[in-house]
Amino acid sequence: MRVLLTGAAGSIGQVLSVGLADRGHEVVGLDLVPQPDGLDDGWHTADCADPDAVADVFEAEFAESSLDAVVHMAGHPGEQSLPDSLTSHVVTTAALLDAMVEHGVRRLVYGGSNHAVGYTPRAGLADGLLPVETRLRPDTFYGVAKAGAEALMSLYADRHGLDVVSCRIGSFRAEPATVRHLATWLSHDDCVRMVDAALTTPAPGFAAIYGISRNTRRWWDLAPGHALGYDPVDDAEGWADRVEPRPDDADENAVVGGEYALPSHERPAFDRA
């Protein structure tokens, strides 16, 4: 497939640029910053929060060729003010969705987050597994924005018949480093497997899946991902001997969002002078 990958200069984006190309996709990168050395795909330096800039990118692509799908990984991967969070995750997604509808691009794979459901306690889960149907329960304004992006994509799936997969990513890292990561880790290779499956699964409509590896200590349900063809291979358990215990481990493991659900992440909604 010919794929527009936003956030292509970021940590996930750079892994996907190479990994999706290895799986036979043609990747066109988009980011706020210029193309990093070592990537040789097509490239657009643009702000996804600017609908005119996004429209220009689509115009340029469709003047030369076409796009089959968008993988949206652009966005600030942490807590900000509420307006900044909404801009980074909801406004960017809206600009892309409008351009997709205008040009008939039918598939969006989204870099969603566990923080959309981050305040969900682990205690009391049926079968000990967190279902994707659990109510949206954000732990931060970041999580609110990720939940908002899911609601927006659901709207476009229903209104325009788009296929959208929101991958609620856990902890994307080369290696797990904390006790929480032993449950929430998403390896680089599994991230590529996940996005490839989300791109190619037939007609998912709107779907949410948990973006984690097949960690022995996992407690977020992988079945919705399996149903779309995401079969993770890696397991954080191989690093368990090297992970040092920390005082916050128990609190971080009591809720989906880990440290984001702890008082250290509380802040006002606005950056007032």
Ligand X SMILES: NC(=O)c1ccc[n+]([C@@H]2O[C@H](COP(=O)([O-])OP(=O)(O)OC[C@H]3O[C@@H](n4cnc5c(N)ncnc54)[C@H](O)[C@@H]3O)[C@@H](O)[C@H]2O)c1
Indicate which residues carry an active-site annotation. Answer: 142
Half-sphere exposure of 23 (CA within 13 A, CB side): 20
Task: Give the chain's radius of gyration (CA, Å).
Answer: 18
Of the pair 15, 123, the CB lying nearest ligand X is at 15
Contact string (CB under 6 A) for ligand X, positions 97-126, x = contact: --------------x-x-------------
Our finding on whether 12 is near ligand X (CB under 6 A) is yes
Of the pair 54, 105, the CB lying nearest ligand X is at 54
Of the pair 27, 48, the CB lying nearest ligand X is at 48
Our finding on whether 225 is near ligand X (CB under 6 A) is no
Task: Work out which of 32, 125, 177, 262 binds ligand X, going by CB under 6 A.
Answer: 32
CB of 174 to ligand X, least distance (A): 11
CB of 130 to ligand X, least distance (A): 15
Our finding on whether 13 is near ligand X (CB under 6 A) is yes
Q: How far is CA 38 from CA 9, 29, 101, 246, 264, in A?
A: 11, 13, 32, 37, 38
Contact string (CB under 6 A) for ligand X, positions 64-103, x = contact: ---------xxxxx----------x---x-----------
Nearest to 181 by CA among 189, 171, 190: 171
Kindly report the CA angle at 272 between 268 and 273, in degrees rounded to 5? Answer: 145
DSSP string, 20-36: HHHTT-EEEEEESSPPP
CA–CA distance, 108 with 206 (Å, rounded to integer):
10
Our finding on whether 171 is near ligand X (CB under 6 A) is yes
CB of 145 to ligand X, least distance (A): 9
Helix axes 11-22, 188-200, angle to 10 degrees: 60
Residue recorded with tokens 């039918």: 106
Our finding on whether 141 is near ligand X (CB under 6 A) is no
CA–CA distance, 176 with 209 (Å, rounded to integer):
20
User: Which residues contact ligand X (rule: CB under 6 A)?
Assistant: 6-7, 9-13, 31-33, 47-49, 73-77, 88, 92, 111, 113, 169, 171-172
